[in-house]
A = this chain, B = another copy of it.
Amino acid sequence: MLRPAEQSSQTSVKVANDVPALSKLGIVVRFGRHETIFNQGDEAKYSYRLVSGAVRHSKFLVNGRRQIADFSLPGEYFGFQNDCEHSLTAEALSDVVVVRYPRSHVERLGEEVADVRRELMLNLRRELMMAQEHLVMLGRQSAKERVASFIVALANRVDAGNGDTITLPMGRQDIADYLGLTIETVCRAISDLKQCGVIKVPNRHELVLLRLDVLEALASGESDED
- Asked if A104 lies at the interface with its beta carbon under 8 angstroms from chain B, I say no
Whether B223 pairs with A132 at a CB distance below 8 angstroms is no
The answer to whether B69 touches A132, judged by C-beta atoms less than 8 angstroms apart, is: yes
- The interface-forming segment of A21-29, A117-125, A167-175, A197-205 is A117-125
Contact pattern, A 45-71, Cβ under 8 Å of B = 1, otherwise 0: 000000000000001011101110100
Q: Decide if A226 is an interface residue (CB 8 Å cutoff).
A: no
Determine which of B81, B125, B221, B223 lies in contact with A83 in the assembled complex, contact meaning CB atoms within 8 Å: B125
Taking CB atoms, residues of chain B closer than 8 Å to A65 are: 140, 221
Using Cβ atoms and an 8 Å threshold, which residues of chain B touch A132? 59, 69, 87-88, 131
- Which residue of B59, B127, B128, B138 contacts A180 across the interface (Cβ within 8 Å)? B138
Contacts of A177 in B (CB 8 A): 139
> Given contacts A121-B121, A128-B124, are A135 and B62 in contact (CB under 8 A)?
no
Instruction: Write out the residue numbers on chain B whose beta carbons fall within 8 Å of the beta carbon of A59.
Output: 132, 135-136
Other-chain contact of A67, B67, B81, B117, B136 (Cβ < 8 Å): B136
How close is A69's CB to chain B, nearest CB, in angstroms?
A: 5
**Is the pair A134, B135 in contact by a Cβ cutoff of 8 Å?**
yes
Residues of B near A136 (CB, < 8 A) are 59, 61, 67
- A69 and B127 contact, CB distance less than 8 A: no
Please list the residues of chain A having a beta carbon within 8 angstroms of any beta carbon in chain B. 59, 61-63, 65-67, 69, 81-83, 87-88, 111, 114, 117, 120-122, 124-125, 127-129, 131-132, 134-136, 138-141, 177, 179-180, 220-223
**Interface CB pairs A-B, < 8 A, 22:** A59-B135, A61-B136, A62-B222, A63-B221, A63-B222, A63-B223, A69-B135, A82-B129, A83-B122, A83-B125, A87-B129, A87-B132, A88-B132, A117-B117, A124-B124, A124-B125, A131-B134, A135-B135, A138-B138, A138-B139, A138-B180, A139-B177
